[in-house]
Protein backbone atom coordinates (compact mmCIF):
# COMPACT_ATOMS: atom_id res chain seq x y z
CA UNK A 1 0.00 0.00 0.00
CA UNK A 2 1.25 3.40 -0.87
CA UNK A 3 -0.18 6.58 0.53
CA UNK A 4 0.53 9.46 2.75
CA UNK A 5 1.64 8.74 6.30
CA UNK A 6 -0.62 11.15 8.09
CA UNK A 7 -3.08 11.34 10.88
CA UNK A 8 -6.69 10.82 9.77
CA UNK A 9 -9.59 11.50 12.13
CA UNK A 10 -13.00 9.97 11.43
CA UNK A 11 -16.02 11.26 13.31
CA UNK A 12 -19.74 10.78 12.82
CA UNK A 13 -22.92 10.09 14.72
CA UNK A 14 -23.81 6.74 16.22
CA UNK A 15 -25.39 4.49 13.61
CA UNK A 16 -23.70 6.09 10.60
CA UNK A 17 -21.54 3.05 9.86
CA UNK A 18 -18.12 4.09 11.15
CA UNK A 19 -17.31 0.64 12.50
CA UNK A 20 -17.94 -1.34 9.33
CA UNK A 21 -16.19 1.20 7.09
CA UNK A 22 -13.14 1.33 9.35
CA UNK A 23 -13.00 -2.47 9.51
CA UNK A 24 -13.10 -2.65 5.72
CA UNK A 25 -10.28 -0.09 5.48
CA UNK A 26 -8.18 -2.07 7.95
CA UNK A 27 -8.86 -5.34 6.12
CA UNK A 28 -7.89 -3.85 2.77
CA UNK A 29 -4.96 -1.72 4.02
CA UNK A 30 -3.23 -3.54 6.89
CA UNK A 31 -0.55 -0.85 7.06
CA UNK A 32 -3.10 1.56 8.60
CA UNK A 33 -2.75 1.74 12.36
CA UNK A 34 -6.02 2.27 14.22
CA UNK A 35 -5.11 4.29 17.28
CA UNK A 36 -5.58 2.63 20.65
CA UNK A 37 -7.16 4.82 23.33
CA UNK A 38 -6.10 5.11 26.93
CA UNK A 39 -8.60 4.75 29.76
CA UNK A 40 -8.71 4.83 33.52
CA UNK A 41 -11.39 2.17 33.69
CA UNK A 42 -10.67 -1.41 34.72
CA UNK A 43 -10.11 -3.89 31.87
CA UNK A 44 -13.11 -6.01 30.97
CA UNK A 45 -12.74 -9.74 30.55
CA UNK A 46 -10.77 -10.53 27.41
CA UNK A 47 -9.46 -7.00 26.89
CA UNK A 48 -5.71 -6.75 26.29
CA UNK A 49 -3.32 -3.95 27.21
CA UNK A 50 -2.24 -2.05 24.11
CA UNK A 51 -4.77 -3.85 21.90
CA UNK A 52 -8.17 -2.78 23.21
CA UNK A 53 -6.92 0.08 25.41
CA UNK A 54 -3.94 1.31 27.33
CA UNK A 55 -5.12 0.92 30.92
CA UNK A 56 -3.73 3.74 33.08
CA UNK A 57 -4.18 4.75 36.69
CA UNK A 58 -5.97 8.06 37.24
CA UNK A 59 -2.65 9.59 38.37
CA UNK A 60 -0.82 8.44 35.21
CA UNK A 61 -3.67 9.70 33.03
CA UNK A 62 -3.65 13.09 34.79
CA UNK A 63 0.14 13.30 34.31
CA UNK A 64 -0.31 12.70 30.57
CA UNK A 65 -2.94 15.45 30.40
CA UNK A 66 -0.64 17.87 32.26
CA UNK A 67 2.37 17.16 30.05
CA UNK A 68 0.49 17.30 26.73
CA UNK A 69 0.83 13.57 26.22
CA UNK A 70 -2.72 13.16 24.88
CA UNK A 71 -4.01 14.42 21.54
CA UNK A 72 -7.51 14.55 23.01
CA UNK A 73 -9.30 13.34 26.10
CA UNK A 74 -12.64 13.40 27.89
CA UNK A 75 -14.30 11.98 30.98
CA UNK A 76 -17.37 9.74 30.72
CA UNK A 77 -19.12 7.87 33.53
CA UNK A 78 -16.33 8.64 36.04
CA UNK A 79 -13.62 7.25 33.73
CA UNK A 80 -11.20 9.11 31.50
CA UNK A 81 -10.50 8.24 27.86
CA UNK A 82 -7.96 9.74 25.50
CA UNK A 83 -5.55 9.29 22.61
CA UNK A 84 -1.90 8.94 23.68
CA UNK A 85 0.37 11.12 21.54
CA UNK A 86 3.56 8.99 21.59
CA UNK A 87 2.20 5.84 19.83
CA UNK A 88 0.56 8.03 17.17
CA UNK A 89 3.82 9.88 16.52
CA UNK A 90 5.81 6.62 16.49
CA UNK A 91 3.56 5.03 13.86
CA UNK A 92 3.57 8.19 11.72
CA UNK A 93 7.39 8.35 11.95
CA UNK A 94 7.51 4.71 10.83
CA UNK A 95 5.58 5.64 7.68
CA UNK A 96 2.18 4.26 8.68
CA UNK A 97 -1.07 6.15 8.20
CA UNK A 98 -2.78 6.53 11.58
CA UNK A 99 -6.54 6.49 11.96
CA UNK A 100 -8.43 7.89 14.94
CA UNK A 101 -12.12 7.10 15.37
CA UNK A 102 -13.22 9.65 17.96
CA UNK A 103 -16.16 11.78 19.03
CA UNK A 104 -16.82 15.35 17.90
CA UNK A 105 -15.28 16.98 20.97
CA UNK A 106 -12.15 14.85 20.60
CA UNK A 107 -11.85 15.84 16.94
CA UNK A 108 -12.04 19.48 17.97
CA UNK A 109 -9.22 18.95 20.48
CA UNK A 110 -7.08 17.18 17.86
CA UNK A 111 -7.38 20.24 15.59
CA UNK A 112 -5.46 22.13 18.27
CA UNK A 113 -3.08 19.41 19.47
CA UNK A 114 -2.27 18.00 15.99
CA UNK A 115 -3.27 20.61 13.39
CA UNK A 116 -1.71 18.67 10.48
CA UNK A 117 -4.28 15.89 10.87
CA UNK A 118 -6.95 15.44 8.20
CA UNK A 119 -10.48 15.22 9.56
CA UNK A 120 -13.35 13.36 7.88
CA UNK A 121 -16.98 13.54 8.98
CA UNK A 122 -19.04 10.48 8.14
CA UNK A 123 -22.67 11.49 7.58
CA UNK A 124 -25.89 9.59 6.89
CA UNK A 125 -27.83 10.24 3.68
CA UNK A 126 -30.58 11.78 5.85
CA UNK A 127 -31.52 12.15 9.49
CA UNK A 128 -34.47 9.81 8.90
CA UNK A 129 -32.15 7.11 7.58
CA UNK A 130 -29.89 7.52 10.61
CA UNK A 131 -32.88 7.09 12.92
CA UNK A 132 -33.96 3.98 10.97
CA UNK A 133 -30.47 2.47 11.35
CA UNK A 134 -30.33 3.17 15.08
CA UNK A 135 -33.80 1.72 15.63
CA UNK A 136 -33.09 -1.35 13.47
CA UNK A 137 -30.27 -2.40 15.79
CA UNK A 138 -32.90 -3.31 18.35
CA UNK A 139 -30.44 -2.85 21.20
CA UNK A 140 -31.48 0.49 22.73
CA UNK A 141 -34.37 1.66 24.85
CA UNK A 142 -36.51 4.47 23.46
CA UNK A 143 -34.82 6.84 25.92
CA UNK A 144 -31.36 5.79 24.69
CA UNK A 145 -32.49 6.20 21.06
CA UNK A 146 -33.71 9.72 21.78
CA UNK A 147 -30.38 10.60 23.44
CA UNK A 148 -28.46 9.24 20.42
CA UNK A 149 -30.66 11.20 18.02
CA UNK A 150 -30.29 14.41 20.01
CA UNK A 151 -26.53 14.02 20.04
CA UNK A 152 -26.58 13.18 16.31
CA UNK A 153 -28.36 16.47 15.54
CA UNK A 154 -25.54 18.38 17.28
CA UNK A 155 -22.89 16.33 15.48
CA UNK A 156 -24.51 16.80 12.07
CA UNK A 157 -24.62 20.56 12.66
CA UNK A 158 -20.83 20.50 13.08
CA UNK A 159 -19.95 18.68 9.84
CA UNK A 160 -18.83 21.92 8.13
CA UNK A 161 -15.92 22.04 10.59
CA UNK A 162 -14.30 19.04 8.88
CA UNK A 163 -11.85 18.82 5.98
CA UNK A 164 -14.16 16.40 4.15
CA UNK A 165 -17.64 14.93 4.51
CA UNK A 166 -18.41 11.42 3.29
CA UNK A 167 -22.07 10.44 3.05
CA UNK A 168 -22.57 6.77 3.85
CA UNK A 169 -25.49 6.00 1.58
CA UNK A 170 -23.79 3.20 -0.36
CA UNK A 171 -21.11 1.33 1.61
CA UNK A 172 -18.80 0.69 -1.36
CA UNK A 173 -19.02 4.29 -2.56
CA UNK A 174 -18.37 5.61 0.96
CA UNK A 175 -15.36 3.30 1.26
CA UNK A 176 -14.03 4.54 -2.09
CA UNK A 177 -14.41 8.17 -0.95
CA UNK A 178 -12.58 7.41 2.31
CA UNK A 179 -9.75 5.80 0.33
CA UNK A 180 -9.48 8.90 -1.85
CA UNK A 181 -9.47 11.29 1.11
CA UNK A 182 -6.90 9.15 2.91
CA UNK A 183 -4.80 8.94 -0.29
CA UNK A 184 -4.76 5.16 -0.16
CA UNK A 185 -3.66 3.02 -3.08
CA UNK A 186 -2.89 -0.65 -3.39
CA UNK A 187 0.60 -1.70 -4.44
Residues 168, 178 contacting (CB under 8 angstroms): no
Domains in the chain: ranges and CATH: 7-181 (3.40.50.300)
Written as tens digits, the pLDDT of the chain (187 aa) is 344 578 999 999 989 999 999 999 999 999 999 999 999 999 999 999 988 999 999 999 999 999 999 999 998 888 999 999 999 999 999 999 999 999 999 999 999 999 999 999 999 999 999 999 999 988 889 998 999 899 999 999 999 999 999 999 999 999 999 999 998 755 4
pLDDT of 3 = 47
Q: What 3-state class would DSSP assign to 72?
A: strand
CA torsion through residues 12, 16, 17, 19, sign:
positive
Which residues touch 69 (CB under 8 Å, ≥6 apart)?
A: 63, 84, 85, 86
Residue 40 DSSP code: S
Residues 47, 61 contacting (CB under 8 angstroms): no
Please tell me the distance from the alpha carbon of residue 58 to that of residue 63, in angstroms, as a whole number. 9
Considering the entire predicted model, what is its pTM?
Answer: 0.88
Please tell me the distance from the alpha carbon of residue 52 to that of residue 33, in angstroms, as a whole number. 13
pLDDT of 2 = 42
Please tell me the distance from the alpha carbon of residue 73 to that of residue 95, in angstroms, as a whole number. 25
Amino acid sequence: MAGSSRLIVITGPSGVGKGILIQRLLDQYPKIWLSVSATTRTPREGEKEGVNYFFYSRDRFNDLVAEGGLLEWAEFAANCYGTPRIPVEQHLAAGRPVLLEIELEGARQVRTSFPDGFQIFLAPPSFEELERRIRSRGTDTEDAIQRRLSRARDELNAQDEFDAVVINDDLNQALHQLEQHMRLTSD
